[in-house]
Amino acid sequence: MELKRVVVTGLGALTPIGNTVEAYWEGLKRGQSGAAPITRFDASKFKTRFACELKDFDVQQFIDRRDARRMDLFTQYAIVASDEALRDANLIGDGAHEMNPDRAGVIWGSGIGGFQTFMSEARDFYAGDGTPRFSPFFIPMMISDIAAGQISMRHGYRGPNFCTVSACASGTNAMIDAFNYIRLGKADVIVTGGSEAAVTEGGIGGFNALKALSTRNDECERASRPFDSTRDGFVLGEGAGAVILESYDHAVARGATIYAEMVGGGMSADAHHLTAPHPEGLGARNVMRSALEDAGMSPEDVDYVNVHGTSTPLGDVAETLAIKEVFGDHAYKLSISSTKSMTGHLLGAAGAIEGIASILAVKHGVIPPTINFEHPDEEIDQALDLTLNEAKERPVRAALSNTFGFGGHNASVIFKAFH
């Protein structure tokens, strides 16, 4: 069968450096750090006392107070970002295009789901006398799929509806599934992306126990430093990113504005270690090659790679080795950057906001920087263009975005300029 073309017609972002797509993109271009001391709880006894939290977020500006109280933060974030994307695509709001709700779906990603709800309910139970008094909304607020369900109920979309859970690859996996459903003709429009709200005692404490987080408490805004030899772990972030994927025919028929075309997605597994990447980047090599093959593209067709780039000692080395292996001599003509240097690591939402950064790089011809770089790492090839500390203008025909998760889950997507 002939596969349908899939295009991007709407974007929504709720990030530690901006609560809209416009603010997020401006923050990326100027190299803004979203890291700051934790305000969500008293972190004074933790090894890491900072994170990339949202700034000035008031859910009551977007969601009725009663409804918001029945949603975990990760679902609230999903609702806000998806509403922005749907407005951007002219699918909700004044003068919105009407579409068949049976052909509209929601495929959302979250690595953890309702972490804050789980922490709160468990804390209340163990602080009591052992009598089981749980909120009737405990389970519906906690489960990872509920964000997709809430978005569909909010807008009446009755097409494909589910959640992908693959740790830090969740948001990217959601986009790949949405892409496949549309190009196979199973839906006309799908709201996709991911959200996460893991800045909790359990989130910080758990990642500290894994020695995965930076402990650069005295200069937290400089803690996320991918490729730098003094990097000591990632910075936990929170938020959401939403992308409206639509069949080309449906988008053109309704006169939609098109940001870019999604042309391929790849998935692989390291099959190596619980938390560490394959040291030679084997899974990363396979997933990028899979995405290129799916898109029918050669390595030379790609101008930008938004790397997973978490600022961990092992991960950054493995990923750059994989890029050199996949792209060969063209690796030195690519622009490469890690936007996690600014946003921190949004776990299951990382692929969504980094996919948005890649789409906007294609549309505007701007490569967001990798900030906080000071000290070269002899294990990372300094001849690669890592877009260090300052954004760069250049034409971007196509961008590839990588996300890798605990458990060895790898996912890559490719967006190219729309013609």
Q: What are phi and psi of 359, to 5 degrees?
A: -60, -45
Q: Which two three-digit tokens encode residue 160?
A: 């494909």
Strand order across the beta sheet in which 398-405 lies: 161-164, 104-109, 189-196, 239-247, 6-14, 260-269, 409-416, 398-405, 304-306, 335-337
User: Of 89, 104, 166, 88, which is closest to residue 409 (Cα–Cα)?
Assistant: 166
Give me the pLDDT at residue 279, please.
82
User: Of 58, 47, 23, 52, which is closest to residue 37 (Cα–Cα)?
Assistant: 52
HEC string of the chain?
A: CCCCCEEEEEEEEEECCECCHHHHHHHHHCCCCCCEECCCCCCCCCCCCEEECCCCCCHHHCCCHHHHCCCCHHHHHHHHHHHHHHHHCCCCCCCCCCCCHHHEEEEEECCCCCHHHHHHHHHHHHHCCCCCCCCCCHHHHHCCCHHHHHHHHHHCCCCCEEEECECECHHHHHHHHHHHHHHCCCCCEEEEEEEECCCCHHHHHHHHHCCCECCCHHHHHHCCCCCCCCCCCECEECEEEEEEEEEHHHHHHCCCCCCEEEEEEEEEECCCCCCCCCCCCHHHHHHHHHHHHHHCCCHHHCCEEECCCCCCHHHHHHHHHHHHHHHHHHHHCCEEECCHHHHCECHHHHHHHHHHHHHHHHHHCEECCECCCCCCCCCCCCCCCCCECCCEECCCCEEEEEEEECCCEEEEEEEECCC
What distance in Å separates the CA atoms of residue 160 and residue 349, rounded to the nearest whole number? 20
Catalytic residue among 52, 250, 278, 308: 308
Give me the pLDDT at residue 298, please.
98
pTM of the model: 0.97
Give me the pLDDT at residue 7, please.
98
* Known active-site residue 220: no
Residue 119, exposed/middle/buried by CB under 10 A (0-12, 13-18, 19+)? middle
Question: Residue 261, Cα to own-chain centre: how many angstroms?
Answer: 18
Place of tokens 């394959």: 278
* Known active-site residue 52: no
Residue 61, exposed/middle/buried by CB under 10 A (0-12, 13-18, 19+)? exposed
Catalytic residue among 250, 278, 345, 409: 345
Walk along the chain (419 residues) in steps of 10 and give the mean pLDDT of each run: 95 98 98 98 98 97 96 98 98 94 98 97 93 95 98 98 98 98 98 98 98 98 98 98 98 97 97 87 95 98 98 96 98 98 98 98 98 98 98 98 96 97
* Known active-site residue 345: yes
Give me the pLDDT at residue 275, please.
87
Contact 119, 201 (CB under 8 A): yes
What distance in Å separates the CA atoms of residue 262 and residue 358, rounded to the nearest whole number? 11
User: Of 346, 13, 410, which is closest to residue 196 (Cα–Cα)?
Assistant: 346
User: Of 88, 414, 365, which is closest to residue 243 (Cα–Cα)?
Assistant: 88
User: Of 247, 225, 245, which is closest to residue 235 (Cα–Cα)?
Assistant: 225
Q: What are phi and psi of 226, to 5 degrees?
A: -55, 140
Q: Which two three-digit tokens encode residue 87?
A: 């407005």
What distance in Å separates the CA atoms of residue 296 and residue 284, rounded to the nearest whole number? 18
- Cα–Cα separations (whole angstroms), residue 372 to 21, 39, 228, 381, 405: 23, 23, 8, 17, 23
Catalytic residue among 52, 168, 278, 409: 168
What distance in Å separates the CA atoms of residue 176 and residue 164, rounded to the nearest whole number? 10
Give me the pLDDT at residue 276, please.
86
